[in-house]
């Protein structure tokens, strides 16, 4: 059974805009992972929302319409067809538990009233039995397993932040 790899928004943004020079290394790694039968690359619903809302905003304003946003939306739809992890009540309850536990341990991930996308993504990864693919590993410390992109990268192309 393939290992589910749930893409964080920083990774998904690279995949849907591969024409941007700084995105190319990450996009090429994810494309290789898509072809590897050991993995199932997935877009979590919370990340689809986070990325899609901005692209829709940028593509809907006629006087500010951006062709790249339309193209990125089309690529987003394509990758969502490959794998998608929907939000469920169970996921949101696990996210609430993870948030409360990390908050209780003094790990403040943002203002108390904010919706913590990282905690929701971590809950989705835990429930899927998978790993988060991100360039912000420290955001998921003690929350979820993080997939190490470094072995799959071209020399000096990707350096996840700690």
| pTM of the predicted protein model | 0.87
- In order of start, what are the domains of the chain with their CATH numbers? 3-152 (3.40.50.1010)
Q: What percent of the chain has pLDDT over 90?
A: 67
Percent of the chain with pLDDT over 70: 86
Question: Using an 8 Å Cβ cutoff, are 39 and 2 in contact?
Answer: yes
> What is the strand order of the sheet 131-133 is part of?
84-85, 39-44, 3-7, 131-133
Rg (CA), the chain: 16
Digit-coded pLDDT (tens) for 13-35: 999 999 999 999 999 999 999 99
């Amino acid at each position: 059974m393939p290992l589910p790899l749930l893409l964080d928004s920083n990774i998904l943004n690279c995949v849907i805009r591969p024409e941007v020079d700084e995105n190319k290394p990450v996009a090429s790694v994810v494309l290789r992972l898509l072809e590897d039968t050991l993995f199932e690359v997935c877009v979590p619903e919370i990340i689809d929302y986070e990325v899609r809302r901005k692209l829709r905003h940028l593509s809907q304003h006629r006087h500010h319409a951006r062709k790249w946003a339309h193209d990125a939306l089309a690529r987003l739809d394509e990758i969502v067809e490959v794998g998608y992890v929907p939000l469920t009540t169970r996921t949101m309850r696990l996210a609430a538990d993870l948030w409360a536990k990390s908050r209780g341990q003094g790990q403040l991930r943002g203002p108390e009233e904010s919706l913590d996308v990282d905690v929701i993504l971590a809950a989705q990864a835990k429930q899927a039995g998978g790993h988060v693919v991100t360039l912000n590993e420290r955001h998921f410390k003690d929350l979820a397993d993080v997939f190490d992109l470094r072995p799959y990268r071209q020399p000096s192309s990707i350096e996840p932040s700690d």
